[in-house]
């Protein structure tokens, strides 16, 4: 609640309303505090206030807001065509849950952001400069970059990509010591005997369709995947969160192993390329689709380098698959998982990255791609249950 005294008189639609300016604030939840303020400007309890009253509210209490957030609120006031501000939009905004209607209002608004670009701000510490750098790496709109810059607190940190990468390194070191081999570990007769890699004879052990990401064919395989995973995955997780990035990563990895089981039925699978290619493909597609808005430095050169790294890794995988296996009749690991990851990245991944701070369940395109993905997973499951016997596929012996 707010102890107050009369301070401002606001006029809207011929009515005069007395506005109270807070002098001290008792410890209440921020949302309750803003609801009290909104209600004072909405005596009819209609759930809306006029843009004139909304500007009065911002004039009286704007000092309590982050400067970038105040800019966005003013842009919302200018963008509203019917002259009214919805309470739910306002509360969602204050709790960092921006509705789709709010985004459209900002994009169609007449007000340009008043302050200088985020890149021109000086006096920032190292951690804040890193946040600003990540904002320019991943977000195409200045309003989103400023919003992210004000909202991000490093809590929680980007733990998911780091945890996956550390686990992959630990597993690789373990097998390197066990096999006494660091390059082309896959050529060892014991490489596929562990509980992690996918093998067509062991596909009934369903965890292998995901656990294969922690095994790599050699240090060259691990190095390229780890570089792309950290350079692209960590910034994306900082912006979009572990849940969304984890969704794209896991969907890419699962699609990769299922794609192998459908199209390259006799081959095993190792490596995190399915998940990594899903993230990198989604990010590159997002950059291309928002080329003019992306302000990251040397974006053309860096995009070319990312494509070169992806091509080198994919070329290595194709070469290894076609190379005569060390222990026939079991072939070398398949490269098809890369393509499954790319397919997920260009569909489901793009929708996730395009909707920063938007509820995915409100996006029809998300449900379309997610439904297609689910249908593919179900078809892949039935294929693994019935197709191998119906087609009488001759599989290599179990490792």
| pLDDT tens-digit map of 244-297 | 999 999 999 999 999 999 999 999 999 999 999 999 999 999 999 888 888 887
- Among residues 50, 261, 272, 273, the one annotated as catalytic is 273
Is the confidence at residue 21, as pLDDT, over 50?
Answer: no
How far apart are alpha carbons 17 and 399 in whole angstroms? 80
Please say whether the beta carbons of 267 and 200 come within 8 A: yes
More confident residue, 390 or 354: 390
The single residue of 68, 221, 240, 338 carrying the catalytic annotation is: 338
Count of CB atoms situated within 10 Å of the CB of 127: 11
Check: CB of residue 53 under 8 Å from CB of residue 9: no
338 belongs to the catalytic site: yes
Diameter of the chain measured on Cα atoms: 88
How many residues are given for the chain? Answer: 399
What's the average model confidence in pLDDT over 84-88? Answer: 70
When the pLDDT of each residue in the chain is averaged and rounded to a whole number, the result is 81
Q: Which of 22-31, 308-317, 335-344 has the lowest mean pLDDT?
A: 22-31
Per DSSP, which regions of the chain are E strands? Answer: 2-12, 15-25, 48-50, 84-86
Binned at pLDDT 50, 70 and 90, residue 82 comes out as low
Secondary structure (H, E, C), 105-155? HHHHCCCCCCCCCHHHCCCCCHHHHHHHHHHHHHCCCHHHHHHHHHHCCCC
Q: Report whether pLDDT(87) > 90.
A: no
Query: Please, are residues 242 and 196 in contact by the beta-carbon 8 Å criterion?
Result: no
């Amino acid at each position: 609640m707010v102890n107050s005294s009369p301070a401002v008189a606001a006029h809207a639609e011929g009515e005069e309303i007395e506005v109270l300016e807070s002098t001290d604030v008792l410890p209440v939840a921020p949302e309750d505090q803003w609801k009290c303020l909104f209600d004072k400007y909405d005596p009819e309890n209609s759930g809306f206030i006029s843009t004139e009253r909304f500007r009065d509210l911002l004039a009286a209490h704007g000092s309590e807001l982050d400067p970038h957030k105040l800019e966005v609120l003013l842009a919302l006031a200018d963008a509203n065509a019917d002259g009214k501000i919805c309470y739910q939009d306002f509360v969602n905004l204050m709790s960092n849950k921006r509705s789709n209607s709010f985004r459209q209002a900002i994009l169609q608004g007449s007000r340009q952001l008043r302050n200088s670009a985020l890149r021109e701000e000086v006096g920032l510490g190292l951690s804040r400069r890193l946040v600003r750098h990540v904002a320019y790496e991943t977000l195409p709109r200045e309003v989103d970059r400023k919003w992210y810059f004000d909202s991000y607190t490093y809590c929680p940190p980007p733990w998911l990509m780091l945890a996956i990468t550390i686990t992959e390194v630990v597993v690789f070191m373990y097998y390197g010591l066990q096999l006494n081999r660091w390059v082309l570990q896959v050529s060892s007769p014991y490489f596929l005997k562990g509980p992690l890699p996918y093998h067509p004879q062991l596909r009934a052990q369903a965890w292998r369709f995901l656990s294969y990401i922690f095994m790599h064919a050699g240090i060259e395989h691990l190095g390229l995947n780890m570089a792309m995973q950290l350079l692209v995955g960590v910034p994306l997780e900082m912006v979009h969160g572990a849940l969304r990035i984890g969704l794209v990563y896991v969907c890419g990895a699962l699609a990769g192993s299922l794609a192998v089981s459908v199209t390259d039925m006799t081959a095993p699978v190792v490596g995190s390329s399915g998940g990594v290619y899903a993230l990198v493909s989604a990010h590159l597609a997002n950059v291309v689709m928002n080329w003019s808005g992306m302000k990251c430095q040397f974006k053309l050169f860096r995009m070319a380098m990312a494509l070169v790294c992806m091509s080198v890794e994919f070329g290595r995988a194709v070469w290894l698959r076609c190379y005569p296996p060390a222990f026939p009749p079991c072939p070398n690991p398949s490269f098809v998982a890369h393509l499954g990851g790319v397919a997920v990245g260009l569909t489901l991944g793009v929708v996730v990255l395009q909707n920063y701070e938007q509820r995915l369940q409100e996006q029809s395109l998300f449900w379309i791609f997610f439904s297609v993905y689910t249908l593919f997973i179900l078809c892949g499951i039935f294929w693994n249950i019935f197709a191998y016997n119906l087609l009488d596929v001759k599989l290599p012996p179990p490792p």
